[in-house]
């Protein structure tokens, strides 16, 4: 890996922890309240948060969204995330595997995840630029096989790339490439954004080319345009100034969910900050929630204990919400908007 890419990955881990670079607009979950049910007619002991994803069991519908891999720091980081995913029974998306495809020594920081999480759902990740040109399907499939990955996530991040001087900004033909990979790649493909969101129209186009699962990754949390802005050198004044205009650019996650009318499997991520955001996302129609930025600082710490505790709070909150609104099974929560009140 070139020094530049290594440095970029390190910068990302540091800058993404700075909450001042998050969106100042909200995801929109604060405009929804779950309706308390004083007569739930269920026993707390029967609450079951388990769900199925990609044909496997999860203890609760949460995805640790793609973050890192390929630099020295990612080894312990991914080991912690994988240990936590295995312990609590949630799914794990790894960061872009591009580095591992190009450099042998970058592989271990990804493969450690499968060692630490032998039974968890683990998904590899690649940017659309790699799907469009340089990577062969066979090469990616071989690494996914070594990782025993359950799926490949493709990220679409046009504006993040546009604010990187070295970014890949050729998006002509992206949808056709996805169509080709859906046909030829041996694992399920999931398409996500990185925080600007997949609009209803984009989701429809992805469905047309055969994608069955999308992660909408909307606005309200980590903002990759603002993060790239902070990485721009002083002599990039014009690009930097323009980036300020995009500090709140994107489709807020809860708004996408509210408008989305699809039979695809939808993962809701982007700005889920509080554990209560997860049941709201589910009631708005998502099958699963995804979180990245809120896990960063615990994932960077020396062991996985605090991370496990943090994830267990998300699970416990979900259980308590289900009791509080009066549903015992996750399927009775998903898409059940009668459990929500919109605050005007």
- Point out which residues bind ligand FMN (CB under 6 A): 12-13, 16, 65-68, 95-96, 125, 155, 192, 194-195, 217, 221-222, 269-272, 291-293, 296
Query: Cβ of residue 79: shortest distance to ligand FMN, in angstroms?
Result: 16
Give the nearest distance from C-beta 8 to ligand FMN in angstroms.
Answer: 10
3-class SS of residue 230: helix
Closer Cβ to ligand FMN, 21 or 232, answer by number:
21
Dihedral pair phi/psi, residue 181, rounded to 5°? -70, -35
Residues counted in the chain: 344
Residue nearest ligand FMN by beta-carbon distance: 221
Nearer to ligand FMN (CB atom), residue 221 or residue 285 = 221
| Block residue for tokens 């020094």 | 3
How far is it, in rounded angstroms, from Cα 328 to Cα 90? Answer: 19
State the DSSP H helix or E strand holding residue 253, giving kind and residue range, or none if neither.
helix 253-259
CB nearer ligand FMN, residue 252 or residue 270: 270
Kindly state the smallest distance separating residue 37's Cβ from ligand FMN, in Å. Answer: 29
Q: Are 227 and 12 in contact (CB under 8 A)?
A: yes
**269 or 298: CB nearest ligand FMN:** 269
β-pair partners for 96 = 125
The residue among 117 and 267 lying less far from ligand FMN, judged by its C-beta, is: 267
- CB under 8 Å to 56, separation ≥6 — which residues? 121, 150
Beta carbon of residue 294, minimum distance to ligand FMN (angstroms, whole number): 6
Q: Please report how close the Cβ of residue 189 comes to ligand FMN at its closest, in angstroms.
A: 13
Element at 90 (helix H, strand E): none
């Amino acid at each position: 890996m070139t020094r530049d890419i290594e440095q970029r990955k390190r910068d990302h881990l540091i800058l993404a922890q700075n909450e001042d670079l998050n969106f100042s607009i909200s995801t929109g979950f604060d405009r929804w309240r779950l309706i308390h049910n004083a007569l739930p007619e269920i026993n707390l002991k029967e609450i079951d948060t388990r769900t199925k994803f990609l044909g496997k069991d999860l203890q609760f519908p949460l995805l640790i969204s793609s973050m890192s891999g390929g630099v020295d720091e990612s080894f312990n980081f991914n080991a912690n995330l994988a240990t936590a995913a295995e312990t609590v029974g949630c799914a794990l998306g790894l960061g872009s595997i591009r580095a591992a495809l190009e450099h042998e020594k970058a592989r271990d920081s990804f493969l450690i995840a499968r060692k630490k999480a032998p039974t968890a759902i683990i998904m590899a990740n690649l940017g659309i630029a790699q799907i469009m040109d340089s990577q062969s399907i066979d090469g990616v499939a071989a690494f996914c096989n070594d990782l025993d990955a359950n799926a490949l996530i493709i990220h679409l991040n046009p504006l993040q790339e546009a604010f990187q001087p070295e970014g890949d900004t050729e998006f002509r033909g992206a949808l056709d490439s996805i169509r080709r990979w859906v046909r030829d790649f041996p694992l399920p493909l999931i398409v996500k954004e990185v925080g600007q969101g997949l609009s209803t129209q984009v989701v429809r186009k992805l469905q047309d080319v055969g994608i069955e699962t999308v992660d909408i990754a909307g606005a309200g949390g980590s903002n990759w345009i603002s993060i790239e802005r902070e990485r721009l050198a002083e002599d990039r004044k014009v690009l930097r100034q323009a980036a300020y205009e995009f500090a709140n650019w994107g489709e807020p996650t809860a708004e996408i969910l509210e408008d989305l009318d699809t039979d695809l499997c939808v993962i809701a991520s982007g700005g889920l900050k509080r554990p209560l955001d997860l049941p709201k996302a589910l009631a708005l129609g998502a099958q699963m929630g995804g979180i990245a930025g809120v896990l960063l600082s615990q994932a960077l710490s020396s062991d996985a204990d605090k991370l496990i505790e943090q994830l267990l709070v998300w699970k416990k909150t979900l259980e308590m919400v289900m009791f509080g609104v009066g549903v015992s099974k996750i399927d009775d929560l998903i898409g059940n908007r009668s459990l929500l009140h919109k605050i005007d």
